[in-house]
Structure 1
Amino acid sequence: KNYDVVIIGAGCVGAFTAMYASKYQLKVALLEAKAEPSMGTTNANSGIVHAGHNTTANTKKAELVDEGNRLIDELAPLLNFGYKRCGELVVARSESDFEALEMMRLYSLSKSVPIEQWDAEKIRKEEPNLNPSIQRALFAPTAGVVNPYEMCTAAVNTAVFNNVDLFVNCAVTSIKKDDGFVLQTGLGEFYAKAVVNCAGLYADEIAKMVDPDSPITIVPRKGQEFLLDKDLEGLVKRVIFPLPQGASKGTLVIPTVDGTIMVGPTAEVVNDKEDRSTTQEGMNAVFKAVQQLVPSISPMSVISSFAGCRAADVSEDFIINNKNGFINAAGIQSPGLTASPAIGLLLTDYILQNVKAEKKQTWNYKPLQKRFNCSSTEDKIQLAKLDANHTKIICSCEMVTEADVQNAITLGARTLDGVKVRTRAGMGRCQGGFCSTRITEILAERQQCQEVDITKRGVNTQLSTQKIGQQNEKQDQNQKEVTEYIPIPIEQSKPSVMSTNKNLDEILQTNRADILIIGAGPAGMAAGLAAIQQKPDAKVLILERSERAGGILLQCIHGGFGLKRFGKELTGPEYSETLSKQAVEAGCNIVLSAYVTDIQQINNEYQVTVVVQGLGYKIFTSAALITAVGCRERTRHGVKIQGTRPAGLYTAGLAQAMINLNGQLPGKRVVILGSGDIGLIMARRCTLEGAKVIGVYELLPRCSGLDRNVAQCLTDFNIPLHLSKTVVEVRGKDRVEAVVLAKVDPVTLRPNMEETEVIECDCLLLSVGLIPQTKLVVQSGGQLHSRTRNPVVDSYRQVTEKAFAAGNCLQVHDLADDAAEEGEIAGQVAVQTLVKEPQCEVVLTKDVMFVVPQTLYVSEQTFVQQKLSTRVAKPLQRILMKAVIQGEVVGEEEVEEAVPAEMIHVKIDQEKLHKIYKEKGGSVTLEVQVLEQAHKEESKNEKVLTCIVCPRGCKIHVKTNDLNEIEEITGNSCPRGKAYAEQEHIEPFRVFSSTVDITGCSVIKRMPVKLSKPVPRSRIQEVADAIKQIKIQAPVKMGQVIAKNLLGLCDIIACCSAEQK
């Protein structure tokens, strides 16, 4: 491979050098050691465009930062990267700081850098959320913020567009000076007349390959940064700086281009150039410093964190020189990002001193494609017309469309992180929990490979360890060419709808419905069905952001659903299909791939802005609105797990989707943190599909999940449950290699960092809680409870008049049936015209975790039976949960074993409530009364079983005689429980669900299946392994037997329908 110039390193400096060099008639190669450009220091960067007022005089930094600032301002519109000139504020509190501030002002004036001095009054007016102790500040209006990886990618794209050859996964291993330079790399040998060393942290090592006596010495200085929730957008308008201390500019508050607030960095000298771990000490230091600037910022708002190493030279200046065609750009730390275009120009001049070349007659910029979420409404409409995939939202947190993802791949993204930095998919609140599997599918489709070959960020970072059913297949880690992407105009696309109602056309033409429901999970579909049943001519429109109706139940292939609503046990997919069929046949109109962006109340109606696949940008109007969008999972940052960010760390729900929907095993040696039901269920699923689950670890001194799930998911498979232990750190550069566990104080719930152990594993699954998605509820006019942060509703689930919330976006339910019941209430009331009735508040006591609703109607009669849904704050034996007003009980529910994992429902005596309130007024208090424990003599011949035949999980006592014959069974609440206990005594039998490969269907790749009858527990794994070998072809109907008499034990039954494509 012969070149005029080889540039080593595709960070910002290398990218701009390649871009400017491409203007000349030179043959240029750009070599990047990682899987994609901008994956080094550029990737983990504060993204600040410095004004130059705080660089040391008479340095290359000072010389180049001003020109870099000007060039970024010029290049941003040409290359279309994210950039905002917001200015920066350097603040001071005391007289001792004012002198340093004045010195900075005078220095700025000497450099002709625009600078303003602000007093306390000006500071309060412009930045009201700053610490009141801040008395003076310098404002540099030419400073700003930039998206570093977008800027780098745009420069690389332009270079490649103008015939620069980009090589990734191409680490340089040696360089020899001959007649030119010979470079040995992972991709073979390169020859160059000139070499440009832009290798960042490794610039000293590259320099020493040519000159062993090179004085360049890179001392990595780690910076930890923390990203905050977008709810804090606008908290500050400018970058907030303290006065710089030493080599660091201090800990900052940064309003990023994309709207999130970022705080940091630290400045820690480290030995390992690849140390990108975050630490609790770093987090504590950052927030201690940041709260001196903005007191309201809290660690509770962190949604993500990262760390990167600055490539600092011991000289603390840029090292830029030209030695006989070997050109160094080393020590490019802050303000290196700002200076990078200016450095690129300077290095190009050095190149031309060694390799003479004329300017090209034709040369053009290659701007980044416009992202949907960054576009105006008018541009969004136009983008959707040109490419229907701009109407398919992949990442709902950041409103990233499929077209955005496809364009990113066309322009070089080959990994999940590559798509992430180009589109922001996976950067929002759920941190990829909802979008990662679909993006993986798209990457595999474009690269014509298997999903198991797709990586997080390159070699050795595979997202899954194997495809289910293919135990020993070797993963392909080679770089792949991509297929061409051809946009489809929206007129050639059709919306995906589920409807049998003739009024659908009218709704879509007039953009008007009587009731609009957001979310087609159990609550949303039950709400629509109830509304139609209450008022058959109602025009009901349900908008679902996914490609299928059913919500999260589509991936919940286990049983236990539907006993209350349908009178039989169903899997999640069966429940979804049964309910959706009922809703559609009744007259509900379900529009799929419909993403709601905004809700406004205008003239007593609701205007809902939505992006609909095949229809584009729409605004629907409705008289009533029901929000039923479910919940999201808490991520590592919600439980303060520090460490590295390798592949193999997932929420339990994401892992569930990987296995059940995509047939990908997330790891082979799995640690699960959190003993909630999804964590327990995933322990069983991972085991059945071939993984070794090392253990389930729980922060609390008690299990968070149901006892029946402990029995059938852990005990049956000898998986240990460890209480009062938590993960505090993740280790591993490419993939998870180990986790650090700490013992937890059972009272304070704080980990003891003096008592830790390291467990080797390749996967960590987090089952650490669910969070209601309340954004749209708030947009519809709702308020959040000050203590619980749940939406405040009345007994009719109204958040405001004619706006309702139901399901897991209101409160996280134990049962889909309960979520559906809540949706029913909202749907029934939404079609009524109700007179405003008096209400009273519901007050919580200390033993009660939360309550829904937070108010009760006190009229003589109500439209629905009022009841309070609540949970205890800690486990309690034999309690009476009481609703009390003015000392009198108006509702109570006795519970033998009350645990936070199980919801308690208290029905209200409406007549009594009305009478007391009418006479005395007041509020209802929810109280816990602990009852006297029933004394029961223990018997050595008695054992207690947790019944697993239904979600109730009764404690069944089985008393036997000396011959081990059953004498008495008590505690069961139904005949099935007794039969279970009898069979358990003889030989345990179990049922379970799994998935099989299906071809010929465009909607699903894995068919959920269940057993027709229980099988011996001792043969569960044998049956699971046999199921893996089953392959079927569409069409398939729900309930169809797809394999008869498997192993002579049972039939295998399809749990959903699959149409032929």
Structure 2
Amino acid sequence: MSNYDVVIVGAGCVGSFTAFYASKYNLSVCLLESKAEPAMGTTNANSGIVHAGHNTAKNTLKAKLVDRGNALITDLADKLNFGFKQCGELVVARSEAEYDKLEEMRLYSASIGVPIEQWDEQKIRAEEPNLHQNIKKALFAPTAGVVNPYELTVAAVNSAVKNGAKLVCNCKVSNIVKQNAGYLLQTNKGEFKAKVVVNCAGLYADEIAKMVDPSSPITIIPRKGEEFILDKDYQGLVKRVIFPLPTGTSKGTLVIPTVDGTIMVGPTAEVVQNKEDRATSSEGMNKVFGMVQQLVPMINPGMVISSFAGCRAVDVSEDFVINQKDGFINAAGMQSPGLTASPAIGQVLVEEMLKNFANTTEKTNWTYAPLHKKFNNMDLKGKEEFATSDCNHTKIICSCEMVTEADVQNAITDGAVTLDGVKTRTRAGMGRCQGGFCSSRIVEILADRTGLTEQQITKRGDQTALSVGKIGNNSSTSVFQGVKEYIPIPTAQSKPVTLSKNENMNQILSSCEADIIIVGAGPAGLAAGLSAVTQDKSKKVLILERAERSGGILLQCIHGGFGLKRFGKELTGPEYSEMLTDQCVDAGANIVLNAYVTQINKLEHGYTVTCVVQGLGLRQFTSKALVSAVGCRERTRHGVRIQGTRPSGLYTAGLGQAMINLNGQLPGKKIVILGSGDIGLIMARRCTLEGANVIGVYELLPRCSGLERNVAQCLTDFNIPLHLSKTVVEVKGKDRVEAVIMAEVDPVTLRPDMTKTETIECDCLLLSVGLIPQTKLTVQAGGLLHDKTRNPIVDSYKRITETSFACGNCLQVHDLADDAAEEGEIAGFVAVEALKHDTPSEKVPVTQSKDILFTVPQSLYVAEKTLIQQKISMRVAKPFGKIVMKAFYGDVEVGKEEVEEAVPAEMIHVKIDQDTLSKSYKQDQSKQIELRVEVIPEEHHESANQNEKVLTCIVCPRGCKIHVKVNESNEIEEIKGNSCPRGEKYARQEHIEPFRVFSSTVDVQGSAIMKRLPVKLSKPVPRSKLIQVADAIKQIQVTAPIRMGQVVSKNILGLCDIVACCSVE
């Protein structure tokens, strides 16, 4: 049993500030929290507004404490280093009918001494030009602001703990017994005895109160609020918190410029029965945006990147409840403005507490425990100092929010032990990709600091494990013994990680100057570097890559299908990456790893590229030409408007791929995959081979989005069903995914029919719902985005300006790495040429017919001779049979491509006859004609033949349609349609028994940067043996060093060897 003077129940903002102020006295204080960390209840899910008193009901505790709390937060922000911005609140009248109420608010504010300004239409338009034109009167409260509620709370807790208070998390109070000298609290963590108990249990304050006094009138009614967060592209849309006139039960639906720059809209105000109801809904979204568009019309649901919901702890009195009896103090009903008032409430509760300790004195050595400052919040000089003092400030973990590894380490030092704990302290995972890139690395860091295994790391505490187990035979667990100390290492004691055989590398790093800088070392960036140095060996070419290995996303794409165009053979992603990296370095390009570009500035003659580099700190490189090859990101649940809860087990397919292939963690046992693109299909096979049950692949469209080759290998081979015209509309599950709600989709409108839904039980949902080019750096370099696709606008040279280029998946999402690399080759080649001399400038724009989704480039050169063979890449908007894709200049055909079967999943390329285009352009007197691409369907009639079957060849990504004619004895008589001898061999084998190859990963020991080694089968095995071979591979463990192509296990099951797909030191 633990004995304390004071036990506080609940580590939300109120309980934490109670502990904060109580720790100033010579009292033993214990703070109990039922969740894994402080601020994981209502404090975790609110609007984060620091209110002024102008919109608080008079003669209430709320009115008494709100301005006092406002002043305390303003004072404490710098002392505790939590995010706070005093931007003010603007209360607007949406029509003349509200003018009288607005005036009443002004008079009330004046009567209680709250600063308030009256704004007319001219002032409103000048200060907030994006507000609705109907808004012509408003009141501005300058003392209001916004705060980071998690940081506010954690900073208060940390200061309390530093000054002697005890924090016990994952501690749920089950009963409280009154004793002669205090109270006995019974919990799952044992018994606690206290002279005074302070009930700050938020939504459960009524239940805690009734443990001591069953007749307590405190009754908490959960009132749920849904909030929606917009993309950072809309930062600055409003500068102040925008309020409508408040209603009786709510302050209304607001537009909130958060401390960290994003715009948040909401909340709703819905009374619910379940205190743990944190699900968003389509109804809530529609309501919020319907109201918000009355304030800022341009805001729409398509801007949303994240959403959440939380329940306010509303007492039936609609006011704060603070009372004391026999040393038991209640603090209940802390709804808005509870966050604002929390420091003041803490002071009041401590005043009540001290009535029970007559002789208690204040501590003389009490000190603040401010949170660590974050890299992204610093100015350029501050970033430079951070990057110098700690080499981990040069390693960017979350590129969306520019969170460094040191930020993550400091968050753990500040108390984070879960993924959500790191997220709320650093913003890692709060950006556009919603943790798709950074989550795996954060889990690794948490495991290292806590001494737990990766499968023991949770999203937000018990029952929220991120994976369901370790792949392979090593599934040990550890006992948490506390967090290891983090000791920063100065950057001067580390070294830059480079790949170079060129003597000019040291010169580039010392002078910070290069002729051409390429951002990104994936297929496009590597090919650009190779092309540039091959074109001119004297050019100083620098490739900056944010990861610790080159290769980009292909490092986790261990499946085959890469390299047929470039290398003439089928490779896995890691093999392709290593071979292209070797070519690039051997040719003379210079690659710097762990180098993250934070900003690009266009100069009069060139570019400044600001980046943080391991071993160097913050650097500003200059270059004459720039190539952006930073790839793409995955669309998240919000991009397809999936509502519901936010449990563990909901991942993008790419994150699931990284969990399995890079970290050996299985994301689920019963998996639903949404999206039938190639990555969704490939993940269905990958999860199955690692022991998961893939319930099905579901697709919103009435057709499959992936290649038939992958449907055959990844679904048909394993009897995984493909469901078309169905989509997930809601996720169920408090801690982990428990089920998804699937709706049928109208094949014409593509809208889900909410009257036709089914519940599918599962523990994991993988989203393969599209990829989005990363365009931020392209825009910084001077590029423009296409109005429809939002992709960079380029000409056929991949130019976005005269000397800057975009290529690969940051320009358009490719089916094949070879196509991305080809774009990189063009960009690198033209970049060198552009530095030598002027290149042709006369161009014509490219347009397309309605049957084509988009075309790239947006313009073509019309000179007789061009630097490259010009071509147009495009995707059809719907499936066709045999077509001819034609390009016309006026009525003149200037290019065509015959396609046997055209589907949106496959890119089509039309080569341009430059001679014809140039001549046609010269003959055009107006020079106003556009080049137009059209789909010409061909009549195609083929009689059905029961003795003939059509196979989609899976030997290579070409996917040839092979016609196999058999006789009455089922013997093959004829094979046609294959483009290579391997296709005929495949068809003959498929007719008897299908043989397949696949890739996997195995545990590797002795490597500092790799935990799993990608491997593949040396030759095909019978389809019926795939699972057995996969199970045998799980038992393999290898030790570095290993070379690509090395056999790591011979004659497995007597069927094949297992071969390494990359080198590891």
2:335 alignment partner in structure 1: 333
Q: Give the 5 Å matches for 1:421-500.
A: 421-470=424-473, 480-500=481-501
1:368 aligns with 2:371: yes
The one-character-per-residue Cα deviations of 1:302-353 (angstroms, maximum 9, x if unpaired) are: 0000000000001000001111110010000000000000000000111111
CA distance in 2, matches of 1:403, 1:738: 37
Contact map agreement 1:843 1:923 (CA 8 A) in 2 = no
The one-character-per-residue Cα deviations of 1:670-720 (angstroms, maximum 9, x if unpaired) are: 000000000000000000000000000000000000000000000000000
CA distance in 1, matches of 2:938, 2:423: 57
CA distance in 2, matches of 1:679, 1:606: 39
Q: Please tell me the residue identity of whatever aligns with 2:370.
A: P
Note the C-alpha offset of 1:930.
3.5
1:569 alignment partner in structure 2: 570
2:144 alignment partner in structure 1: 143
1:969 aligns with 2:975: yes
Note the C-alpha offset of 1:601.
1.2
Q: Give the 5 Å matches for 1:162-311.
A: 162-179=163-180, 180-311=182-313
1:1033 alignment partner in structure 2: 1039
Q: Secondary structure at the match of 2:532?
A: helix
Note the C-alpha offset of 1:93.
2.8
Contact map agreement 1:845 1:925 (CA 8 A) in 2 = no
Q: Please tell me the residue identity of whatever aligns with 2:984.
A: K
CA distance in 2, matches of 1:181, 1:54: 39
Structure 2 unaligned segments of length 5 or more: list them.
Answer: none
Residues 154, 722 of structure 1: alpha-carbon distance in 2 compared, 3 angstrom cutoff: same
Q: Please tell me the residue identity of whatever aligns with 2:381.
A: E
1:399 alignment partner in structure 2: 402
Contact map agreement 2:846 2:933 (CA 8 A) in 1 = no
1:1014 aligns with 2:1011: no
1:981 aligns with 2:981: no
Contact map agreement 2:94 2:294 (CA 8 A) in 1 = no
Note the C-alpha offset of 1:479.
5.0
Paired residues, what number? 1057
CA distance in 2, matches of 1:736, 1:302: 22
The one-character-per-residue Cα deviations of 1:558-607 (angstroms, maximum 9, x if unpaired) are: 01100000011110000000000111111111001111111111121100
Q: Please tell me the residue identity of whatever aligns with 1:671.
A: V
1:919 alignment partner in structure 2: 923
2:950 alignment partner in structure 1: 944
Q: Please tell me the residue identity of whatever aligns with 2:165.
A: V
CA distance in 1, matches of 2:900, 2:1017: 33
CA distance in 1, matches of 2:848, 2:670: 43
Q: Please tell me the residue identity of whatever aligns with 2:912.
A: I
Q: Give the 5 Å matches for 1:682-693.
A: 682-693=683-694
1:847 aligns with 2:851: yes
CA distance in 2, matches of 1:602, 1:825: 23
2:698 alignment partner in structure 1: 697
CA distance in 1, matches of 2:967, 2:391: 71
The one-character-per-residue Cα deviations of 1:467-501 (angstroms, maximum 9, x if unpaired) are: 00149x5866x654111111101110111111111
CA distance in 2, matches of 1:930, 1:620: 49
2:1004 alignment partner in structure 1: 998
Note the C-alpha offset of 1:931.
3.2
Contact map agreement 1:885 1:922 (CA 8 A) in 2 = no
Q: Please tell me the residue identity of whatever aligns with 1:861.
A: K
Q: Give the 5 Å matches for 1:353-752.
A: 353-356=355-358, 357-470=360-473, 480-752=481-753
The one-character-per-residue Cα deviations of 1:739-772 (angstroms, maximum 9, x if unpaired) are: 0000000000000000000000000000000000
1:757 alignment partner in structure 2: 758
TM-score normalised according to structure 2 size: 0.99
Contact map agreement 2:1004 2:1037 (CA 8 A) in 1 = yes
Alignment partner of 2:911 out of 907, 916, 921: 907
Q: Please tell me the residue identity of whatever aligns with 1:505.
A: N
Q: Give the 5 Å matches for 1:732-881.
A: 732-832=733-833, 833-881=837-885
CA distance in 2, matches of 1:760, 1:778: 43
1:1058 aligns with 2:1060: no
Note the C-alpha offset of 1:191.
0.1
Note the C-alpha offset of 1:666.
0.1
Contact map agreement 1:630 1:808 (CA 8 A) in 2 = yes
Q: Secondary structure at the match of 2:882?
A: strand
Note the C-alpha offset of 1:863.
0.4
CA distance in 1, matches of 2:614, 2:174: 49
CA distance in 2, matches of 1:44, 1:923: 55
Q: Secondary structure at the match of 2:177?
A: strand
CA distance in 2, matches of 1:1042, 1:222: 56
Q: Please tell me the residue identity of whatever aligns with 1:1025.
A: D
Contact map agreement 1:183 1:191 (CA 8 A) in 2 = yes
Contact map agreement 1:883 1:924 (CA 8 A) in 2 = no
**Deviant stretches of 4+, over 4 Å:** 473-476
2:76 alignment partner in structure 1: 75
Q: Please tell me the residue identity of whatever aligns with 2:871.
A: K
1:883 aligns with 2:884: no
CA distance in 2, matches of 1:948, 1:607: 46
CA distance in 2, matches of 1:37, 1:988: 56
Q: Please tell me the residue identity of whatever aligns with 2:238.
A: V
Q: Please tell me the residue identity of whatever aligns with 1:288.
A: G
Contact map agreement 1:881 1:926 (CA 8 A) in 2 = no
TM-score normalised according to structure 1 size: 0.99
The one-character-per-residue Cα deviations of 1:55-84 (angstroms, maximum 9, x if unpaired) are: 000000000001000000000000000000
Note the C-alpha offset of 1:385.
1.7
Q: Secondary structure at the match of 1:289?
A: helix
Contact map agreement 2:473 2:1035 (CA 8 A) in 1 = no
Structure 1 unaligned segments of length 5 or more: list them.
Answer: none
Q: Secondary structure at the match of 2:684?
A: helix
CA distance in 2, matches of 1:936, 1:760: 43
Q: Please tell me the residue identity of whatever aligns with 2:171.
A: C
Q: Please tell me the residue identity of whatever aligns with 1:384.
A: A
CA distance in 1, matches of 2:786, 2:409: 41
CA distance in 1, matches of 2:436, 2:350: 43
The one-character-per-residue Cα deviations of 1:854-896 (angstroms, maximum 9, x if unpaired) are: 0000111100000000000111111111111111110011111
Note the C-alpha offset of 1:942.
1.5
Query: What's the C-alpha RMSD, in Å, of the aligned pairs?
Result: 0.9
CA distance in 2, matches of 1:375, 1:725: 46
Residues 727, 474 of structure 1: alpha-carbon distance in 2 compared, 3 angstrom cutoff: farther
Note the C-alpha offset of 1:552.
0.2
Note the C-alpha offset of 1:610.
0.4
CA distance in 2, matches of 1:60, 1:1005: 57
